[in-house]
Amino acid sequence: MNEISFEAYICFQNLKERLTYVLANFGGKYDINFYCKKAKRR
């Protein structure tokens, strides 16, 4: 179980780094507006 948790942690860290990279390059406003529009479509 410890190995699975560790792998999940590494995967999360990689995802977090990629997300930070995307936000740094494309800006956070676009992503925020996109998610807000998606939420309003309910």
* Sequence ranges of the domains in the chain: 2-40
Distance between CA atoms of 22 and 25, rounded to whole angstroms? 5
Distance between CA atoms of 7 and 11, rounded to whole angstroms? 6
What's the confidence (pLDDT) of residue 7? Answer: 87
What's the confidence (pLDDT) of residue 28? Answer: 55
What's the confidence (pLDDT) of residue 31? Answer: 56
Q: 1-42 pLDDT, tens per residue?
A: 567 788 888 888 988 888 888 777 776 555 555 565 666 655
pTM of the model: 0.44
